[in-house]
Structure 1
Amino acid sequence: MNYFRTALLLAGLTALFMGVGYLIGGGTGAVIALVIAAATNLFAYWNSDRMVLSMYGAHEVDRQSAPELYDLVAELASRVGIPMPRVFLIDEAQPNAFATGRNPQNAAVAVTVGIMQQLSREELAGVIAHELAHIRNHDTLLMTITATIAGAISMLAQFGMFFGGHRNNNSGPGIIGTIAMMILAPFGAMLVQMAISRTREYAADNLGARICGQPMWLASALSKIENAAHQLPNMEAERNPATAHMFIINPLSGHGVDNLFATHPSTANRIAALQQLAAELGAQGGVASPATTGYPPRSPWGGASGTRGPWG
């Protein structure tokens, strides 16, 4: 099903590419856009994860440079049954995180410095488990390709605006066509982000909560990240809004005013779903029973379960 969704997504992106190409250069422009789309799709499949990590200045860490973070990811990855992903740190004050990679064998988890500073270990465990759930569900392939090609669509539209457009007739697209392209191409890129159903966030929340065995750890983390995202702008995300859907919480400063076209479900609704899950699992104060989660009760970082504390 994930591969079918990916093919459907790429087909839609290709059609949008060709439409913009037709506005710029008629039939020839559409053919050229098709060739560009095919090349971009292939490039995105193999390289989009590296591009997104590079865009945010993420640097890889290991057990020597970030032992607590690395061991936390390793423990949770073992529990969910996927290969150990590469771990990256982003020098960004806004607390946030995302996963990327075309499959679980070539995956990466990236977290910001802000999330390390502002979340407890339990809350971070919930966030990491959520991102590992995306990897296990193969959502990361959709996310990385969407981010890359949606940005390319916007760039093509901007090129068309600068180029002025040429058609096989004498009039070209004209003012109306140019304005339409300027409006519809970014709108189309936004729809591409929405093409990845927001239900994937609920699914990742649900599985992530089961991985760490504590739904309320993730609920608490989502609340903290949401509040901080309103106060601390992520300037790189503002410059590259096509990547916003990759993060666990929308990193854009204006995301609260547009629920219809939001790339993420309401954080309040996500927390409510986690609270319901905690109740269903027989949770008391957010502590789920290992018998109902299907995962062992050990703490994901090797200490006593239920202890809290900031990263040192």
Structure 2
Amino acid sequence: MNTATTWTLTHPSGARLDVAATGATALSWHVPGADGALVDLLDGYRDAEELAAEDGYRCAVLAPWSNRLRDARWRYEGDILDVAPGVDEEREDASLHGLVTDQSFQPAGGDITPGETAHELTLATTIAARPAYPFELELRVHYALAEGPDGQQSLSIEIIALNTGDRHAPVGLGWHPYVRLPGHATIDELHLEVPAASVVTVDDKLIPLADPLESTGGKLSLTPVAGAEIDLAFAGLHADDEGMVKTTLSSPRTGDRLSLWQRAEETDIVHLFTGDFLERDRRASAAIEPCTFGADALNRELDAMLIAPGHSRRLRAEWVFERGH
């Protein structure tokens, strides 16, 4: 891939993760497949042109908010703040996913030469105060590769936003990975299960309704995904005894499973997008996005988003790939 600056994490198992400095964006995650050959479980950007275009926000880090804002505006201490000044049409789309998707990150804690590195990497950037977001943050993104006792491959991410300013700042975090399973050209044959009690209903601009929660009956189960066109958030996530929430994409044909684990104490939202409107390879993958807050949170949940000076907000998530037997 031809991008200005990238790092490749490597693991003794053969797994590899490519990460771009732009947005701290994961580009690919190769793991050993059934025959030992590497397979890519991420449907990331393929070149620098795609990375710059940001089509679909493939595998993007989202901060200090995720998803859309109504009319691309929000109110703070009586002021109306416009995050898309000069934009007349598609304002909600212009407000998508925060401020760092095109921002350059650098290694934290010392210089690391671009190229191959160990199985862990931490990248950092700052969010400077601006009219639309008059707060200062330090943002760190930590990626790590690991292998389980039975050969499971895992990719974890930790996103930490530290309020470095002198007043309370609203902060929401998210991650936007597109995932797929080997041997499947589309997601249609796959099964998807989310342990969510509610779906967040939205208007025609994908902004949550005034009373948005609608029961799922305890979980979302798509068996198979074919026929479902989804770009919605799910809430009321059911955690296990250790406080972890598991969303699973699986293949009934190969037995392969890819599970997203997220911590209920840090996030109660997972956003699903079946890739129906991507410019390239529609429905070849699904975006399964852990988020600390949902769409339009700056207008709907501002008080809950605030963190004090010197305090931080964290989002941790892990993908675990298990080969079928």
Q: For the superposition of Structure 1 and Structure 2, which TM-score range results when normalised by the shorter chain?
A: under 0.3
Normalization by structure 2: what TM-score? 0.27
Which structure shows the bigger proportion of residues in strand conformation? 2
Normalization by structure 1: what TM-score? 0.28
Which structure shows the bigger proportion of residues in helix conformation? 1
